[in-house]
Amino acid sequence: MLISNNNNHKATAPAVEKPLQFQLFIPLLSLLICSFITFASQVTIAPQIVKSASNISAVAKSAVAEHGQLSIKDGQLVNQQKQEISLAGPSLYWSNNGWAGEDFYQKNVINNISQQWQASIVRAAMGADFKGSYLTHPEDNLKRVERVIEAAVENGLYIIVDWHSHHAENHTKKAIEFFQHIARKYGHLPNIIYEIYNEPLQETDWHSVIKPYSLKVISAIRAIDSDNVILIGSQSWSQDVDISAKDPITGFSNLAYTLHFYAGTHKDELRAKAQVALDAGLALFVSEWGSVSADGTGDVDYQETEKWLAFMRKNQLSHCSWSLSKKEEGASIFKPSASTSGPWSDKDFTKNGLYLKEIIQNWG
Ligand code: MG
């Protein structure tokens, strides 16, 4: 308004009019801008910036970057800062040649469960039993397991390297050969967790068979890797942790005992066994569990699974759910039509798979 009104006087009185414009208009404009910035920074802009910055750091920081070297302290898994932690992720299926799981031992699978599912851990189930296993095809199986170890390291995931056998005491030398190789190659990395015996059978005695086997394998690993956590199986498909608790392995640090459950079969009775072990100071690790029946069949038992999830939360137990496979059975995470590398959409998952994925996504 000032400018247009004084257009006629432009030639005669510019020196007087210009300072007037600056004196009145610029301070007014500055005042308006400053007021807006002050208001916006207090009310809207600042919180958004802070929030998005914290989201970025949460996404960018992997589980291993956040927690570092794990150990066992007073019967609990703790991170490098000695804080109790509970990790969650899926388990791969047996790695055996020609079975239902080998195709999932891929880098893209690990990338996707890290990025899509926000898993903090994954379990590689080195087939060490039955046809097509490490016992007869060591190179094929080792290649698969190493591929997923390296992908887990790239993604900052913890990875359980599991000797997936029901008869490990019959091949102790092979187990030692395998774990010493893994310890030499990867034992300096915080990502690695050793699981030395998936599931001893019901008739395999803890005191005279499983414990002596475990001592031999633990000694062999500790000769190379002095610190990474080692998981120990127990009698009856890694359920009788109460028996192990009465006669635990001593002389080594950073040991935990595996508790396996399938919600469709195992209920209060198994949680009571687990409680006995926890009360005795044993560290437990649920390296394998399912929402269906123990034989891998049947429908999801939501009610019992929720009880188990509450139990694991209460006791800060880490867990891996069975399994990354598209075999036609209840325990499989994927439908037969799903890709073996991902990324996956909801239609690729079984009802069980969708449920397990959501549990992992919401665990952290
Ligand atoms: Mg180490």
User: Is residue 288 annotated as part of the catalytic site, yes or no?
Assistant: yes
The answer to whether 167 touches 124, Cβ cutoff 8 Å, is no
| Distance from Cα 189 to the centre of ligand 1, integer Å | 6
From the number of C-beta atoms within 10 Å of its C-beta (0-12, 13-18, 19+), residue 185 rates as middle
Q: Which residues pair with 77 in a beta bridge?
A: 72
Average pLDDT, the chain: 88
| Distance from Cα 70 to the centre of ligand 1, integer Å | 9
pLDDT reading at 26 higher than 60: no
| Distance from Cα 226 to the centre of ligand 1, integer Å | 6
User: What pLDDT is stored for residue 7 in this prediction?
Assistant: 33
Distance CA(167)–CA(338), nearest Å, equals 32
User: What pLDDT is stored for residue 364 in this prediction?
Assistant: 87
pLDDT reading at 12 higher than 70: no
The answer to whether 300 touches 291, Cβ cutoff 8 Å, is yes
Q: Pseudo-torsion of CA 164, 167, 169, 172, nearest 10°? A: -50
pLDDT grade for 60, boundaries at 50, 70 and 90: low
Distance CA(95)–CA(104), nearest Å, equals 9
Q: Which of 102, 169, 199, 304 is catalytic?
A: 199
For the chain, domains (ranges, CATH) are 73-361 (3.20.20.80)
Distance CA(348)–CA(351), nearest Å, equals 10
User: What pLDDT is stored for residue 319 in this prediction?
Assistant: 98
| Distance from Cα 256 to the centre of ligand 1, integer Å | 16
| Distance from Cα 182 to the centre of ligand 1, integer Å | 11
* pLDDT tens, position by position, 154-181: 999 999 999 999 999 999 999 999 999 9
pLDDT reading at 6 higher than 50: no
CB under 5 Å of ion ligand 1: residues: 187, 225, 227-228
Q: Pseudo-torsion of CA 151, 152, 153, 157, nearest 10°? A: 150
pLDDT reading at 254 higher than 70: yes
| Distance from Cα 43 to the centre of ligand 1, integer Å | 49
The answer to whether 120 touches 126, Cβ cutoff 8 Å, is no
Distance CA(75)–CA(278), nearest Å, equals 7
User: Is residue 269 annotated as part of the catalytic site, yes or no?
Assistant: no
Q: Which of 102, 169, 195, 288 is catalytic?
A: 288
CB count within 10 Å of CB 343 equals 11
| Distance from Cα 316 to the centre of ligand 1, integer Å | 23
| Distance from Cα 136 to the centre of ligand 1, integer Å | 29
* pLDDT tens, position by position, 62-71: 999 999 999 9
